[in-house]
Amino acid sequence: MEITLSVLDKAGEVRARKTGNEAVSLFFRHAYAPGDRITVETGSPGSFLTLSIDNTLPPAVVFMKEGAFSFPVPFGDAKTTYAPTAFSGENHRISAHATGPDALSGIRNLALNPADHGASVAAYPHAFASVETRGEAAFAARNAIDGEIASDDHGFWPYTSWGINCDPEAMMTVEFGRRVVARSVVLFTRADFPHDAWWTSARITFSDGHSINVPLEKTGAGQRFAFPERETEWVRLEKLVKADDPSPFPALTQIEVWGREAGP
């Protein structure tokens, strides 16, 4: 499979590009500018890549539903959800390699995607929510699948989280872009006490309509909920019940969905 990595400016002109067969690494030796985008193209919709969009971000398996993915280089508010060194300076390594059946056969966190962003509809997993606190990047849904689990502060990296803007009806969905088999969910709720509140329960819903109600505790540690294997195209967190606490600010630091590919 041919893979092409590119850096494009705001006008769509190519600043750097490299193509490889099965694997490719692009070393961009310049500073990014506002409006720049990183693109990943395979020409093979439905393929899997292990992608690292920046040398500071861990690689993760992504499903290229449309065969091409575009990532806006973050500046300003959008930059606060990444490490200070991410996308900074003049030396940037972007890499991708094809991910075959052997690498996909085991159990893994199907929700992990540090390259996810709000406008993404081409690469999965992808997170979106009914509401995000003040529309700020530090509280966007994509933060809940970026792999960061630090929870005893908030508002900047690595304390990224999904904030519900005090909305009791808030819900967040992780889409996989294809059928997967889920077997457990791990929730890391934010624990910047006493600034934060917490939830006492939540509902986890699957694309077939099945749902499970789960109890939650006042902790920043991961809370794991196992269940019989269930085939699904997405997982939704909803019906969040806040504890009787003066703080109006419960939030989700991370959601992990452990499982495997559904197969043909």
Q: Got the DSSP string for 33-89? A: -TT-EEEEE-S-TTEEEEEESSTTS--EEEEESSSEEEEEPP-GGGGGGS-TTTT-S
What is the average pLDDT value for the chain, to the nearest integer?
A: 97
Cα–Cα distance measured from residue 84 to residue 77, given in angstroms and rounded to the nearest whole number: 12
Given pLDDT bands bounded at 50, 70 and 90, which one contains residue 180?
Answer: very high
- Its pTM stands at 0.96
Does the pLDDT of residue 107 top 70, yes or no? yes
Span 117-169, pLDDT tens digits = 988 889 999 999 999 999 999 999 999 999 999 999 999 999 999 999 999 99
The pLDDT value recorded for residue 119 is 86
The answer to whether the CB of 204 falls within 8 A of the CB of 225 is yes
Does the pLDDT of residue 91 top 90, yes or no? yes
Average pLDDT over residues 87-115: 96
| β-bridge mates for residue 232, sequence order | 180
The pLDDT value recorded for residue 120 is 87
Span 14-60, pLDDT tens digits = 999 999 999 999 999 999 999 999 999 998 999 999 999 999 999 99
**Of 173, 172, 168, the residue nearest 240 (C-alpha):** 168
Span 203-217, pLDDT tens digits = 999 999 999 999 999
Given pLDDT bands bounded at 50, 70 and 90, which one contains residue 221?
Answer: very high
Residue 25 tokens, joined: 């690494």
The pLDDT value recorded for residue 263 is 78
Given pLDDT bands bounded at 50, 70 and 90, which one contains residue 264?
Answer: low
Does the pLDDT of residue 93 top 70, yes or no? yes
